[in-house]
Structure 1
């Protein structure tokens, strides 16, 4: 089966061939014809299966027949994923002078407003920043959104969680009604909230919602080529064990992503591992956007062997060279574990995932094993004696020095100030609402 046989424009098939993509994946074969036929679509497939191309190709095919801006809007939960999607749209549409605007936090607000006023063909955005423009940038900036033909929610399960509810509602308020646009939801985790959308009534002139889950996504939760290991350690020496894992013969040259639950932990590890002579970059919400982008580029280019990240990097990011994922902290939600380990063993490749389990994590590990229907195996080659002899003392010194540096630099103060400002604004809004009701 070829992309052209699915109804994709010839110029796009040629662009795919130049990118060495010749055969559609299962999610692409199913969803592309359905979207081209006018169906709203819910697409579920495990990580690395080509979901971005599954919605980009029909959108670009239809756009090339009647190009105007703003033709399509893609909403996604993280800045990095928005930038990655924009790169793929730009690569696919490079021969057609496609204009794309990325609307995410951490970038120049006025510059983004000017870009939106120029009616780019596609807007790739995070809900929070787009909602800010809708609220503050004026009708001239957002009026192009009122004519979009396609709305895509990428990583839909996360977007439909409570944390994005208010921003999504504001974004939807300026879009055409659902019967006048096509809506596509794509995710690696098809939740009840996502599935419920297929039962919503559709307009008489629209075909029914098309839903496609590849290989029963919920059952096949992790890639077949992924080996899952654990080490059980006391919580106060996790850094020393991490050092030893990264130094094991099977991993000493591997490109690795280390996941943590908190921004402070990410920064402590970045500084600690750097003092231990590892080539490391980090990715978390405390960093400015330019720093986040630079870190990701350094890691993709091989200038850094290790990327330390919070869950801003767990969703959708495609870094083909990742060979090892380490969960330094165990996530509370088993689905977050699935997304994290999905950064390796993508598209049929092999990879390893190692979870550093402390006495506090037993319940979480049991929930994860039940969710993925698989038991983790003990990592071989790592012993307490090895850690004590080779790692414990120097890692402890490096960590202590890192914490002292962060205290001197007041790490976390900017985030705390921003949190206080948000509370202050929320308080003022709440008071004004109460006043208007009483009036």
Structure 2
């Protein structure tokens, strides 16, 4: 089966071939023809299975037949994902002079408003920043959104969560009614709430919603080429064991993502490891957008070999060179582990995942093993003796220096101010009611 057999435009088939993409994946095979028939779609497939092309190819095909106004809006939970989707659309539509606007936090509002006023063909946005424009940037800026033909929710389970509900509602308020647009939901985790959308009352005159899950996504959560390891350590020396893992000969040239649960942890680890001459970058919500983009580019270009990240990097990011994912902190939700581990062993490649497990994490590990339908093996390469001999003192001294540097620079002060402001505004709003 080729893309041309699915009904995509000839120019797009050629663009895909030029990118060495010749054969559709299962999710592309099933969803593209149904979307081209005009059906709303819920598509579920594990990470790395080509979901962006599954919704992008039919949208671009229809757009090229009638390229008027803002044709499609893609909403996605993180800035990095928005930029990655925009890069893919730009590559696919390069020969057709496609115009895109990326609307995310941390960038200049005025510049974004001007781009939206010029009616780009596609807008890729995070719900929060687009909601800001709807509230503050005036009718001329958002007018083009009132006639979009397609709405895509990428990583739909996250976009439909309570975190984004208010902003998403505001975004939907300026779009055409559901009967006048196609709505496409794609995710690696088809939750019950996402699945239940299939059973909503059918819009008159529209074909029924198409729901497709590849191999029941929930059961086949991780690729067979991914090996899962754990190492059991006392919580107060986690950094020493991380240092020993990163120093192993077999990972000496590997591209590695280290996941943490808090921004402060990410920053402490980045600074500590940098003092020990590791080529390291970080990615978390307290970084200015320019730094976030720069870190990701450095890691993709292998100028940095290790990326320390919070869950802003766990969803959808496609970095084929990643060979190892380390969970320095174990996530509370087993699905988050699946997304983190999915950054490696993509598209048939091999990859390793290592969990640094403390006495507090045992229940979480059991939940993860049940969700992944796979037992973790003990990582035997790192021993207590090895850690004491080569890592304990080095990383301890580097961490102390890093914490002193962060104190001097008042790291986190801006975030504390913002939290206090939000609390004050919430109290004022309650009083006024």
TM-score w.r.t. the length of structure 2 is: 0.99
In structure 2, the partner of 1:172 is 172
Matches within 5 A, 1:200-349: 200-349=200-349
Distance 1:95 1:24 in 2: 21
| Offset of residue 425 of structure 1 | 3.1
Distance in 2 (alpha carbons) for counterparts of 1:6 and 1:306? 40
In the TM superposition, what are the counterparts of 1:23-422 in structure 2 within 5 Å? 23-422=23-422
> Helix, strand or coil: the match of 1:245?
helix
CA–CA distance in structure 2, aligned partners of residues 420 and 74 of structure 1:
32
- CA–CA distance in structure 2, aligned partners of residues 236 and 186 of structure 1: 40
Cα deviations by residue, 1:151-182 (Å, 9 ceiling, x for unpaired): 00000011111111100000000001111100
Q: Secondary structure of 1:346's partner?
A: coil
Q: Deviations over 1:269-317 (max 9, x none)?
A: 0001101110000000010000000000000001000000000000000
Q: State how far apart, in whole Å, the 2-side matches of 1:299 and 1:24 are.
A: 28
Secondary structure of residue in 2 paired with 1:77: coil
| Alpha-carbon distance in structure 2 between the residues aligned to 1:423 and 1:150 | 37
CA offsets per residue over residues 111-153 of structure 1, 9 Å max, x none? 1011111111000000000000001111111111110000000
**SS in structure 2 at match of 1:277:** coil
Given that 1:72 and 1:123 are in contact with CA atoms closer than 8 Å, whether structure 2 keeps it comes out as: yes
Structure 1 position 431, deviation (Å): 4.1
In 1, distance between residues paired with 2:419 and 2:166?
17
Distance in 1 (CA, whole Å) between partners of 2:155 and 2:232 is: 32
Provide structure 2 residue ranges, at least 5 long, that are not aligned to the other structure: none
Q: What is the match of residue 8 of structure 2?
A: 8
Aligned-residue offset at 1:236: 0.5
SS at match of 1:208: coil
C-alpha distance in 2, partners of 1:41/1:139? 30
Aligned to 1:257, the other structure's residue is in SS state strand
Compute the displacement of 1:429 (Å).
Answer: 3.8
Q: Distance in 2 between matches of 1:163 and 1:4?
A: 39
Deviations 1:314-367 (A, max 9, x none): 000000000000000000000000000000000111100000000010111011
Secondary structure of the corresponding residue to residue 332 of structure 2 = coil
- Residue 56 of structure 1 and its aligned partner are, at CA, apart by 0.3
Contact 1:179 1:202 in 2 (8 A): no
Within 1, Cα distance between the matches of 2:425 and 2:253? 48
Task: Please report the TM-score for the alignment, with normalisation by the length of structure 1.
Answer: 0.98
Q: 2:251 & 2:382 partners in 1: Cα distance?
A: 12
C-alpha separation in 2, matches of 1:49 and 1:396: 41
> Aligned partners of 1:205, 1:420: CA distance in 2, in Å?
50
SS of 1:353's partner is strand
- How far has the Cα of 1:43 moved from its partner? 0.3
CA distance in 1, matches of 2:404, 2:25: 50
Paired with 2:420 and 2:168, the residues of 1 have a C-alpha distance of 23
